[in-house]
Amino acid sequence: MSSPLGTSLCGVSLKNPVLAASGTYAYGVELKGLVELEALGGIVVKGLSREPMDGNAPPRLFETEGGMMNSVGLQNIGVRAFVREKLPQLRQLDTAVFANVFGYSVEDYVEVARVLEDAEGLAGYELNVSCPNTKHGGLFFSSDPALLEEVVTAVRRVAKRPLIVKLSPNVARIEPVAQAAAGAGADAVSLVNTFVALAVDAHKREARLGGGFGGLSGPAIKPIALRMVWETAQAVRIPVIGLGGIATGVDAAEFLIAGASAVEVGTASFWDPQAPVRVARELERFLKEEKISQVADLVGTLTFRKGGT
- Active-site position among 113, 131, 164, 252: 131
Cα(165)–Cα(190) distance, integer angstroms: 6
Provide CB contacts within 8 A for 21, sequence distance 6+. 44, 243, 264, 265, 266, 269
The better pLDDT of the pair 305, 117 is held by: 117
| Contact present, 254 and 218 (Cβ < 8 Å) | no
Q: What's the confidence (pLDDT) of residue 99?
A: 98
Provide CB contacts within 8 A for 76, sequence distance 6+. 46, 47, 48, 49, 52, 53, 55, 82
Residue 37's alpha-carbon distances to 9, 14, 91, 95, 269, in angstroms, are 18, 13, 12, 7, 13
Reported as a single tens digit per residue, the pLDDT across 33-52 is: 899 999 999 999 999 999 99
**Active site annotation includes 131:** yes
Per-residue confidence band for 1, with pLDDT thresholds at 50, 70 and 90: very low
Q: What's the confidence (pLDDT) of residue 264?
A: 98
Provide CB contacts within 8 A for 219, sequence distance 6+. 66, 67, 245, 247
Written as one letter, the residue type at 286 is: F
Continuous H helices in the chain: 79-81, 87-90, 106-117, 145-158, 175-183, 222-235, 249-257, 268-271, 275-289
Domains annotated for the chain, with CATH where assigned, are 7-298 (3.20.20.70)
291 conformational bin, left if phi > 0, alpha if psi -120 to 50, beta if neither:
left
Cα(101)–Cα(122) distance, integer angstroms: 13
109 conformational bin, left if phi > 0, alpha if psi -120 to 50, beta if neither:
alpha
Cα(262)–Cα(253) distance, integer angstroms: 10
Reported as a single tens digit per residue, the pLDDT across 84-93 is: 999 999 999 9
Nearest to 267 by CA among 214, 216, 303, 223: 216
Q: What's the confidence (pLDDT) of residue 130?
A: 87
Reported as a single tens digit per residue, the pLDDT across 88-146 is: 999 999 999 999 999 999 999 999 999 999 999 999 999 999 877 777 777 789 999 99
